[in-house]
Copies of this chain bind each other. A is one copy, B any other.
Amino acid sequence: MKHDLLHDTLGVVNVGLEMFTSSVAQAGAPLVHLDWRPAGDGNPRLAWTLAQLAGDADDPDALGSRIDRANDAAANRMLAARPVLTDVSLRADAIWPELWANGRKTLTHAGAPIPWARMCDPMKGTMIGAMLYENWADTPDDAAGRLARGEVEFLPNHDIGAVGPMSGAISPSMPVFVVKNATHGNLAYTNFTEGIGRVLRFGAYEPDVIERLRWIAAVLAPAIKAALGCIPGGVDLKAIQSQALLMGDEVHSRNSAATALFHMAIGGALAGSDFDRARSREALDFIAATSQFFLNLSMVASKAIMDATHGVEGSSIVTAIARNGVTTAIRVSGLGGRWFEAPSDTPVGLFFPGFSQEDANADLGDSAICETAGYGGQALAASPALVQLVGGSVAQAVEYSREMYHVTWTRNPVMSLPNLEFAGAPAGIEVRKVVDTGIRPVVTTGIAHKRAGVGQIGAGIVRVPLECFTQAVEALADGFPPARE
């Protein structure tokens, strides 16, 4: 492991087995547990493959050297991307008419493809709720029966350029945010934050949940659309993300500052528009009361950035991390649309009163797209306040970011981490580095109850399964498919 100027605090670094850390921690010394394993995870064939994929300064034609150059190119695209919120589409079927043409019924979901029978309970609840919202079923039982009989197609959000938190469903009459990467021109989409409590994305489908979704479609979405109509050039989401990192957010599990900055960006425009006054107030006050409102916007901004990073021939940078509640899957820039998939870990963190670790569903949601773009777990050092929500100490939060420098390709100069003396945040998770160090990327996340409808029961930290990366490394050794562009 290279010497790092950021490691200037005395303390104990534990490498390997976590059991050795407890006595040190009890003694009160600063401590970080590196989730280290031998290169290739103790697998000689994988270690050999890794060696074949290493860059070679003397041989620019070596596979590893070509990967290094491709990663530089991909990282440049990542750092240059500039996602801007340009519009709200009041209906999803205006964006993707083919999904609901000629009687076709489709619902999208988070993570890699998964059939109804294998979905976790919260995702099933979400799909039932979406059926009721679209009037495709009369009762929850009716909805479940129709879903089980295959009346509805399922499609990952990522396959239509979209992302959604937790179960992540998009149905035809839901409004969606439209984000344009002003640098490279690509578009990305997401659904709307529903607020807290019982919400569709956690698998709730009671009447009040459906009612709130209708209010979002009828009031909140048109209000934000009206505001955007009065803001030439749209709202620069990357600028909000960058500022929020100086204000205690890592813009995944904490978005308090980003939400306030977004409110400031649209509030004046909405107040000045001819949109109905009472509904303008409802919309602005809803945003003000929803500290995670910006989460979906941070996700879609990250999606727009990472879609521009995807498809660089030979690049081994991770461009998506997505969880469907059963598996965690990654995509790699130079490896096409293939998902490298493994069973999800269960997040560890703090639970709301009355709930515990046993109630937690496996890791769920498209929101880890934030980590691929350098936010969330990568930028945990930016968010001391988040440790109050997910557990641990501020020193540990800072150490997570320090650790992530070992598995990332570059640093993002416009994403400053104050508690690392304004160093650029680690940017561009690289699959060879992950397998080589055994350090698995850290994700900050909400925790869903494993039963549908209960909702969020806590927040915490999870790591991406190593197997996703070992699969990707093996695929890298098999050579690259033709680049997308």
Cβ–Cβ < 8 Å partners of A8 in chain B: 28
Report if A60 contacts B (CB, 8 A). Answer: no
**How many whole Å from A251's CB to the nearest CB in chain B?**
13
Within 8 A of B (CB), among A253-271: 256-257, 259-261, 263-265, 267-271
- Are the C-beta atoms of B277 and A272 separated by less than 8 Å? yes
Interface size class of A (residues with CB under 8 A): 35 or more
- Are the C-beta atoms of A281 and B268 separated by less than 8 Å? yes
- Are the C-beta atoms of B281 and A269 separated by less than 8 Å? yes
Report if A114 contacts B (CB, 8 A). Answer: no
Report if A419 contacts B (CB, 8 A). Answer: yes
Checking B283, B288, B388, B394 against A264 with a beta-carbon cut-off of 8 angstroms, the contacting residue is B288
A422 CA to B247 CA in the complex, in Å?
A: 15
Report if A243 contacts B (CB, 8 A). Answer: yes
Per-residue 0/1 for A360-389: is the Cβ within 8 Å of any B Cβ (1 yes, 0 no)?
Answer: 000000000000000000000000110010
28 contacts between A and B (CB under 8 A): A9-B9, A10-B10, A230-B281, A246-B256, A247-B247, A247-B385, A248-B257, A248-B418, A257-B260, A259-B264, A263-B263, A263-B264, A264-B267, A264-B287, A264-B288, A267-B267, A267-B268, A267-B271, A268-B280, A268-B281, A268-B283, A271-B277, A271-B281, A272-B277, A385-B418, A393-B421, A394-B419, A419-B419
Besides A9-B9, A264-B267, A385-B418, 17 more A-B contacts (Cβ < 8 Å) are A10-B10, A246-B384, A247-B247, A247-B256, A257-B260, A259-B264, A260-B263, A264-B288, A267-B271, A267-B288, A268-B281, A268-B285, A269-B281, A271-B277, A271-B284, A272-B278, A394-B421
